[in-house]
Amino acid sequence: MNQRQPKRFAFWRAKNKKQDTHAEHEMHCTALCCAKHGERANVVQLVGDAAEAARLRDLGICEGATVQVLRDGDPLIVRVADARFGIGRAAAMNVLCEIHKGDAECPKP
């Protein structure tokens, strides 16, 4: 019976480890994927695939832009200038930014 117990709880240990890893990631993260509802962010850099970065720039998410998170999750609903749209969490991970908590105005670069 003791042999079986570790296998039985392996799924839960893996799930908890994944949650802990993401919580640690959020503490040090400056990616748009970790911004919460209502937060504003200044985009600092786009990383990752060049085609995806070009698509984000076409949408208005470029270096120096101010982005407001309207809904966190997947997809992330954001407002850039007067446009609202959703982007996937994977794409949002490639947007490095300075996140400003609450309704604080973002300083201009």
Q: What is the pLDDT of residue 15?
A: 56
Q: Is 6 left (phi over 0), alpha (psi -120 to 50) or beta?
A: alpha
pLDDT in tens, the chain (109 residues): 445 555 566 655 665 655 555 555 455 558 898 888 999 999 988 988 899 999 999 989 999 999 999 998 889 999 999 999 999 988 999 999 888 875 545 444 4
Instruction: Say whether both 74 and 88 belong to one domain.
Output: yes
In a domain, 71, yes or no: yes
Whole-structure pTM over 0.85, yes or no?
Answer: no
Taking the alpha carbons of 54, 60, 64, 65 in that order, is the dihedral positive or negative?
negative
Q: What is the pLDDT of residue 56?
A: 92
Q: Which domain holds residue 36?
A: 32-100
Instruction: Say whether both 50 and 95 belong to one domain.
Output: yes
Q: What is the pLDDT of residue 108?
A: 45
In a domain, 2, yes or no: yes
